[in-house]
Every structure is written in structure tokens, then in C-alpha cells.
Structure 1
Amino acid sequence: MKKYDFIIAGGGMAGLSLAYYLTSSALRDRSILILERDLKNRNDRTWCFWEKETGPFEPILFQKWDTALFYGPGYTGRLGMGGYRYKMLRGIDFYAFVEEHLAKFPNVERRQATINRIKDTPQGGFVIADDEPYLADYVFDSTFQLSLDQPERHNLLQHFKGWFVETERACFDPAIPTIMDFRAEQHGDCRFVYVLPFDTNRALVEFTLFNDRLLTEAEYEYALRHYLSQHVDTGAYQITDVETGVIPMSDVPTTELPSEHIIRIGTSGGYTKPSTGYTFNRSQRYLRELVDNLASREKPARDVSWFKRRFALYDSIFLNVLENHRYPADALFTRIYARNPGRVFRFLDEDTTLFEEIRLFATMPIGPFLKGLVDVLRRKIISR
């Protein structure tokens, strides 16, 4: 049985990003094995994120915008983004880019296999995939499934269906995406549509929900058809592609370092922002820090100060407000975005100061969030 320096269990976004950063660091000559069940040769997903600086995947961005539209009760207009740009990256472009990069390194192996088991041993991290054993100094695991049935926690889902459409009429402004449109029927949930235009006749139109129940295919499709008929002057249109997804919005804790030789990454490692479901840019940030730590200290642990952990409390309170319908979700998001231009993006990136956070909290409905805070603290006490 061959032993590797690193095994990456799961070759999706987190695993491939990690391989990219490892081979772009002082660790580039280490032996690396990537195990992934699926061939990454199709456009199976789209990632959107905001960013100020030029990121490592800037050359392959499918689209980027300097401003965005927002539609909510009492507010319709452009959002000030405070120097951020909203960016869109297609899965197929990301996979091809990383594949081309990794092909330069003969020390990186790729194997298509289903992972059966991962465990720690005194000799290193041990993986069985398609009944074959593998061993490494470190196993980076993005396959661990979070337990989303803990009643003392908040367990919502972000689920969506998007249509890539081509329209008869020139009805989109390619310079301005719609980041949130709450003119969708709410039905007591948090439901919105976002529109990412590629040119005047092509766009991704995506219907998104934050709740705890998936819809039927007919319900997603009805919402998309209804939105296009009511709010976009498309004329005839055709659907050229479809994307769907489900992302956990949960404050269920996960152990990033469950044992000496195993490190969880991606959603498995707690990289998903619980209150928004955004994962891509947080993963890039955390993985760069992880690789820097390995390269400089040979230790994988990320340093998270006690003060930085305040954002986890904020996430739990926000999820509590949404889960318990303490305030209409469309009005809540409208207050957040309309009254905090620029600041809201820094806050969601966890880059704000405490003073900026207090200013943002002052724009929120105090009563519902105080009730949410009390309930979160109560749940924490009960779970101990």
C-alpha cells in the first residue's frame, strides 16, 4: 500500500481548490492523491460571490458586475457595493482550469473512485475507496455529511432551480444583475429570484428559497415561469440549460480537525456561511490559510480567535429569526441591503469592525432579534 503526503477525499470545488493552492505553494512537490467519484467534465453548477481584489480565478470568470439591482418591499434600486464586484464562475471552467494546472505536476494523481471509509490510524489517515486502501500523512475530507437533525440547532436549507434562458426580445441589461428580487410570491417563506445577465438576450434566472422543505419540480418551474411572464419582457424564450442545488444553512457544529491526520474541508469543515449559504469565497480564504499553515508550521490548524467567533453567534440569531418567522424575510433582507450599502458585503465576509456591526444592527428590527438572541442562548444552555 503506497503512502502519500496528502490525500484529498472528494474532488469537487473544495478539494480541487486545495490541490491548486498546495501546488502553488512550497508544498508543490509533495505526493498528492485526489479521489473523486464523478468525472468533472460538465457544467454542473455555478458559483457567485463578491470580491474586491483580483482572485486566482479571475481569468476564467464567466461574468462580473460593478453594481446590482435589488427589489424588496419599500425599496427598488441599485445597491452600492462599496468597491466589491459581483462575480460568476461556471463549474466547467473551474474544473478545466484546475485540471490544466494540476497536469503540470507528476506528483499529483487523480483516481475516479467511490470513498467507502475514512479513519485515523497511528500510521496516518486511512482511506478505502472502491475497496482499495490508501494511506497519507493527512487526509483532507470534503465528504463528511453534517447531521442536520439536531433539534437544538437551526437547520434550514437553501434550495434553488435556475434556467439558462435565451429570449426573443432584448430584455436584459448585461451590466446589471438582479441580486435579489422579492416580487416572487413568499408563501410565508423567504423566496426570491436572481437574474444574472450575460447579454441582452441571455441570462440565468434562478428561483431560490430559504426554508426547511424542498418543493416539487412543478413548484420550482411554476415560480420561474410566473416570474418571467410577470417581470421580464422576454417574448418567446427557450431554456438552454438547468441547474439545481441544495445547500445547508445550519449552525450545526462540525469539527474541522476531528483527529490527528484528518482535516475536514468545504461544507464538511464548516466553510459554508450558515446565514447565507455562500461557500465559494469562504472556502478559498480558509484553504489558503490552511496551506499557509502547513507550509510554514507543518500544522493544519487555522487560528480562529474567540472574538472572531462572534460571527457564528450572529449567524445563529439570524437563522433563528428566519426559522421562527419572527419578521417577514423579504422586509428583513430589504432593511439589511438598502440601509447598509457596502457595509453589508463586508459584514457577510466577516471583515467588519465591531463598531460597523453595531451600526448595521441598528438598522434591524430590534424585537425579533432580541427574541432570537434569547432563544439561541436558551438552546445553547439546553444542549450542554
Structure 2
Amino acid sequence: MKKYDFIIAGGGMAGLSLAYYLTQSPLRDRSILIIDREQKDRNDRTWCFWERDPGPFESILFRTWKTVCFHGTTYTGPVDMGDYTYKMLRGIDFYEFVQNELAKHPTIEFKQAIINRIKETPQGGFLIADDEPFIADYIFDSTFALKLNQPENHNLLQHFKGWVITAEKPCFNPEKPQIMDFRIEQHGDCRFVYVLPFDEKTALVEFTLFNEKLLEKSEYDDQLRQYIDRFLDTGTYQIADTEYGVIPMSDELTQEYPSEHIVRIGTSGGYTKASTGYTFQRTQRYLSAIVKNLVETGKPIRPESWFRRRFKVYDSVFLNVLENNRHPADDIFTRVYTGNPRRVFTFLDEDTHVLDELRLFATMPFWPFLTAFFAVIRRKIAG
């Protein structure tokens, strides 16, 4: 049975990012095994996020925008992002970049296999993949499946389908992406479309919704087709590429450190922000902290103050409002974005101070959120 310093279970965004950060640290010569059931050799997803400063993947960003637009219930126009830049990164560009960087390090191995079991042992983290055993000082696991069935928690889904379309007419402004357009029927959910233009004739048009149940596959296509026909003067258009995804929006309490030698990362470790589904930038931040701690202390535990847990309460309250339809979601987002220029992006990054948070809360409908707050408390006590 071969032993490694680190085993990374799951070679997706979280696993590859961790390996990359390890190679950029004094731990670059440690033995690392990365296991995934499939090769990352296709453009299976797109990540969008905002940053103030250049990030580690700046050189491979597909598009960047200094201005974003919003179409809500009472406002249509640009959103003041302040110092932030909205960024788009394609999955294939990320995979190729990281894999090329990792290939420079002979102590890193890849194995394509199905992971059968991960468990704690006195000797370290133990893993079986395709019935072959491995052991490591630490296993970083992004494959653990959340249960999403405890009644005291809120368990919504963010699901989406997008088309990259090439239009006959020059109908897009490459400098002005639409991050939320609520001009579609809500059907009691939170539904919107975003449009990310690549040039005057090409854009990613994506239909997104937050609720508890997936749609029939044809319904996503119908919504995209109706939006394009109603709001985009494309003339004829061709679908060049498609993407589909489902992201859990859950306030389930995850165990990032279930045992001494096993660390859960990515969505498995609770890195997905419950109220928005944003994962990429939070994952980069958290993994950087893990590697920093490994370098400084020899242990991966990512320190977090108890006071930062208030953001989890905020997420639960927001999910309760959505889950119980306490107020129309399109109006909530309109209030958030138009009443909190610049501040909203800092808040969603969980970098605000309490005073800023109180100012943001003051723009929200009071009674629905107060009712949701007490409902969250009751559910947690009952659970």
C-alpha cells in the first residue's frame, strides 16, 4: 500500500485548485495523489465571480467587465461595482492551465478511478479506489455528498441551463453584461436570465432559478428560447455550446474537518455560499488559508472566528424567505442591488462590517425578513 503526503479525492475545481496552491508554496515537493473518476478535458462549466485585485488565474480569464447591468422590478441599468471587476473563467481553460502547472512537478500523480471508501485510521487518511488501497497524512475530499434532508435546514437548489449563441445581427454590447434580468415569469420562484456577451454577435445566455425541484429538460430550453425571442434582436441564431448545472443552496452544517486526517473541501466542505450558490471565489480563499496553515503549523485547519458565523445566519434567513415565498424574489434582489451600490459585492464576499450590514438590511422588506429570522431560530431549536 503506497503512502502519500496528501491525497486529493476529486480532481475538479476544488481539488485542482488545492494542488495548484500547494505547488506555489514551500510544500511543492510533497508527494500528492489526485484521484477522479473522469478526465477534465472538456469545457463542462463556466465560473463567474468578482474581484478587486488580480487573482491567481488572471492570465486565463475568458472575459472581464468593469460594468454590469441589472433588470429588476423598479430599476433597469448599470450597477456600481466600485473597485470590483466581474470575471468569467471557462472550465477548460482552468483545467488545462492547472494540469500544465502540475505536470512540472514529478511528485504529483493522477489516477482515474472510482473512489470506493474514505476513512480515518491511526496511521492517517485511508482511501480505496477501484479496490486499491492508499494512505496519506491528509486526505482532502471534495466527493462527500451532502444529505440535504434535515427538516431544520433549508435545502433549495440553484439550477441553470445556458446557451452560447451566435446571432445573425450585432445585438450585444460586449462592455455591458446583464447579471440578472427578471423580466421572465417567476412562477412563485426566483427566476432570472443573465447575458454575458463575448462580442457583438456572441454571448452566453443562461436561465437560472432557485427552488426545490428541477424542471423537465425541455422547460429550460423553452425558457431560453422565449427570452431570446422577446428581448434579444438576434435575427436568426445558432447554438454553439450548452451548459447545465445544479448547485445546492443549503444551510446544512457541514463538517469541514470530520476527523484528524480528513478534510472536506469545495461544496463538500461547505464552501458554496448558501444564499447565492457562489463557490469559485470562496473556494480559492479557503484553500489558500488551508495551504498557509499547512506551511505555518503543519496542520490544515482553516481558522475562522466565531463572529464570522453571523453570515451563516444571514444565509439561513434569506433561504427561509425564498423557501416560504415571504416576499417576491425579484423585488428583493432589486432592493439589494439598487439600494447598496458597491456594498452588496463586499457583503456577498462576507467582507463587510456590522454597520454596513445593518445599512444593507435597512433596504430589505422588514416584516418578511423579521418573520424569517424568528422562523430560522425556531427551526434550529426544534432540530
TM superposition score normalised by structure 1: 0.99
**Other-structure match for 2:211:** 211
Deviations, residues 90-134 of structure 1 (Å, cap 9, x unaligned): 000000000110011000001111101000001110000011100
Deviations, residues 59-106 of structure 1 (Å, cap 9, x unaligned): 000001001110011110100002101100000000000011001100
**Other-structure match for 2:130:** 130
Distance 1:308 1:28 in 2: 31
Matched, 1:357 2:357: yes
**Other-structure match for 1:49:** 49
Distance 1:151 1:191 in 2: 24
Matched, 1:113 2:106: no
Count, aligned residues: 383
Correspondences of 1:1-384 after superposition (within 5 Å): 1-383=1-383
Distance 1:26 1:201 in 2: 46
For residue 194 of structure 1, give the secondary structure of its aligned residue in structure 2: strand
Distance 1:46 1:103 in 2: 23
Distance 2:210 2:83 in 1: 28
For residue 118 of structure 2, give the secondary structure of its aligned residue in structure 1: strand
Runs of 4+ off more than 4 Å: none
Distance 2:366 2:25 in 1: 46
Percent identity of equivalent pairs? 68
Deviation at 1:3, TM superposition (A): 0.3
Distance 2:62 2:283 in 1: 19
Distance 2:347 2:125 in 1: 36
For residue 245 of structure 1, give the secondary structure of its aligned residue in structure 2: strand
Deviation at 1:248, TM superposition (A): 0.1
Aligned residue type for 1:53 = D
For residue 307 of structure 2, give the secondary structure of its aligned residue in structure 1: coil
Deviation at 1:271, TM superposition (A): 0.2
Q: Which runs of 5+ in 1 are unaligned?
A: none
Distance 1:298 1:13 in 2: 24
Aligned residue type for 2:235 = G
Q: Which runs of 5+ in 2 are unaligned?
A: none
Deviations, residues 18-61 of structure 1 (Å, cap 9, x unaligned): 00001110110100000011110000000000001100000000
Aligned residue type for 1:307 = F
For residue 309 of structure 1, give the secondary structure of its aligned residue in structure 2: helix
For residue 257 of structure 1, give the secondary structure of its aligned residue in structure 2: coil
Deviation at 1:233, TM superposition (A): 0.1
Distance 1:35 1:272 in 2: 22
Deviation at 1:184, TM superposition (A): 1.2
Aligned residue type for 1:126 = F
